[in-house]
Structure 1
C-alpha cells in the first residue's frame, strides 16, 4: 500500500522544519509538506481545508515547544473535532519529558518521538515515519473524513 502523504508539520524552528522536510522527501516521492509555526496558524490551516470540505492533510507532525502555546493544545483541538480526529498526529519534539509523553497519549497522539539531535538518527527517524505511514499503515480516504 502506498499512501500519498499530505503532511502538516507544526514546527517553529525553520532549520528543523527544512531538515525534516528534506529528509522525508528523500525517502518518498509521494509526500507534500506544509509548515505552520504555531498553534493558531495550524488551526487556521486545518479550518481552511475544512471550509472547502476537502481535507488534504492526512498526517500531522507536531512539535510541543511552540511559541504562544504548547503543541498539546493543537493535539487537543484536532482530536476534539469530528472531521479531524482521524488524522494521525505524531509528536516529534526535543523538549518532551515523561509527563509530556503521557499527556500526548492521553490526548490520542498516534506516537511520541523524541527528536534526535544526531543527523543520522534524525534521517533514520524520518525514514521510519515515511515507511510506516506511507507503506504500512492504511489511512482513510480524505473524503471519508467528512462522513
Structure 2
C-alpha cells in the first residue's frame, strides 16, 4: 500500500481519534479497522469540519484527527487551520483523500499535518491504513 506523504516520524500516543469524513462508508470502515487493530482507541466522528468544531470534540483530549481533505462546502486546508487554532500545536492531524494533488499535499504538510495518506480500497486497505496511522 502506498502510504502517501509524511513529515518526520512522530510518536502519537493515541487513546482517542476523531474522524472528520463526509462518507459514511469510509467512516464506518475506518472505525471497524480501528476496532480491529487498536481496540483500546476510542473513535469519534464528525461529518464535516464545522460539526467537529461545534460539537467540541477537541475540548477533550483528542491527540489525533483523521481529516478528509475534500469535504463538501469546506476547504480541507481551512478545516485544518481551524482545528489547529482550536486545539493547539499538540494536535496531530493525518489528512487523507482518494485523489491528492501534490500542491495540496505540500500545503497541508506545511500547515503542520503529520501525513497525507491515500484512501484505501477494501477492508484490508483500511486495516493497513490504521497500522500506518498508529506507526506515524
What range is the shorter-chain TM-score in? 0.7 to 0.9
Between structure 1 and structure 2, the one with the greater Rg is 1
Q: How does 1:90-101 map to 2 (within 5 A)?
A: 90-101=94-105
Decide which structure has greater strand share. Answer: 2
What does residue 26 of structure 1 align with?
Answer: 36
Cα deviation for residue 23 of structure 1 reads: 0.5
TM-score where L is the length of structure 1: 0.76
Q: Secondary structure at the match of 1:61?
A: strand
Offset from partner CA, 1:114-141 (integer Å, 9 cap, x none): 11224323321212223x26xxxxxxxx
1:77 to 75, 82, 85: 82
**Structure 2: 5+ residue runs without aligned partners?**
1-10
Q: Secondary structure at the match of 1:7?
A: strand
User: Which portions of structure 1, spanning 4 or more consecutive aligned residues, are displaced by more than 3 angstroms?
Assistant: 1-4
1:39 to 35, 49, 62: 49
TM-score where L is the length of structure 2: 0.81
Cα deviation for residue 28 of structure 1 reads: 1.4
Q: 1: distance between equivalents of 2:53 and 2:85? A: 12
Decide which structure has greater helix share. Answer: 1
**Structure 1: 5+ residue runs without aligned partners?**
134-147
Q: 2: distance between equivalents of 1:111 and 1:100? A: 12
Q: Secondary structure at the match of 1:41?
A: helix
* Paired residues, number: 126
2:61 to 45, 56, 65: 56
CA RMSD of aligned residues (A): 2.1
